[in-house]
């Protein structure tokens, strides 16, 4: 802020203040009060929580208090109420978008994925896009055989990363391959195997 804006903000804080009005027999409202206690502007809301949220929004803008009050004298309360509510809604929408983006980034950072190399006989496990295990096979059908099992797991891959952190890459690779073989044997025993080199080709999980 400039010195002039700082001075205006300081003056506004001595002259105005947004407060919550929540009478027991009336609607809750955000009220811009003057130093003499009279209301320069009153904005009613559906409930006390919405009114409190609006008060907090107004409280973050002390440099706007005096202009709001002057605009009320010129144009009346209705257009000023509409303007403040529109601004508050826009700020709330922006904050919600930021919150969603932060959650999405957090999910991406924690997501464990299993990728299949198309041109190489490899499978890669990543967390947050960072590889922590690459399994290399001799031939492509072996890679696809593993994918038949891995991509139809009911449990999230996060448990695989936890096992990797505790036991390392070699132990995790051995565990996954053993689990795949056990599942193949169980499916074959149940008479549901696809036959050939990829018995889980048509298996879609338990």
Distance of CA 159 to the CA centre of its chain: 22
**44 within some domain:** yes
For residue 171, the model assigns a pLDDT of 96
- Residues 104-137: b if buried by 16+ CB within 10 A, e if exposed: eeeeeeeebebebeeeebbbbbbbeeeebbebeb
**200 within some domain:** no
| pLDDT tens for each residue of the chain, 206 residues long | 555 555 545 555 568 889 999 887 779 999 999 888 888 999 999 899 999 999 999 999 999 999 999 999 999 999 999 999 999 999 999 999 999 988 888 777 778 889 999 999 999 999 988 899 999 999 999 999 999 999 988 777 889 999 999 999 999 999 999 999 999 998 888 887 777 888 888 888 77
Domains identified in the chain, total number: 2
For residue 14, the model assigns a pLDDT of 63
pTM higher than 0.95: no
**57 within some domain:** yes
For residue 181, the model assigns a pLDDT of 94
**202 within some domain:** no
**205 within some domain:** no
- What is the Cα–Cα distance from 198 to 119, expressed in whole angstroms? 19
Q: Which domain holds residue 150?
A: 111-189
């Amino acid at each position: 802020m400039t010195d002039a804006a700082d001075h205006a903000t300081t003056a506004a804080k001595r002259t105005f203040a947004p407060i919550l009005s929540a009478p027991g027999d009336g609607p809750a409202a955000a009220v811009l009060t003057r130093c003499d206690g009279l209301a320069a502007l009153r904005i009613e809301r559906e409930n006390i929580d919405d009114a409190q949220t609006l008060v907090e929004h107004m409280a973050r803008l002390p440099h706007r208090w005096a202009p709001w009050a002057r605009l009320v004298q010129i144009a009346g309360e209705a257009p000023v109420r509409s303007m403040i509510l529109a601004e508050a809604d826009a700020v709330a929408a922006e904050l919600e978008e930021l919150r969603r983006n932060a959650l999405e980034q957090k999910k991406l950072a924690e997501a464990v994925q299993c990728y299949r190399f198309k041109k190489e006989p490899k499978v890669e496990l990543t967390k947050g896009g960072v590889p922590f295990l690459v399994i290399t096979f001799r031939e492509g059908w072996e890679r696809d055989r593993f994918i038949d099992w891995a991509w139809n797991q009911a449990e999230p891959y996060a448990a695989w990363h936890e096992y990797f952190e505790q036991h390392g890459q070699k132990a995790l690779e051995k565990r996954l391959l053993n689990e795949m073989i056990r599942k193949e044997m169980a499916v074959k025993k149940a008479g549901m195997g696809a036959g050939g080199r990829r018995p889980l080709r048509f298996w879609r999980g338990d």
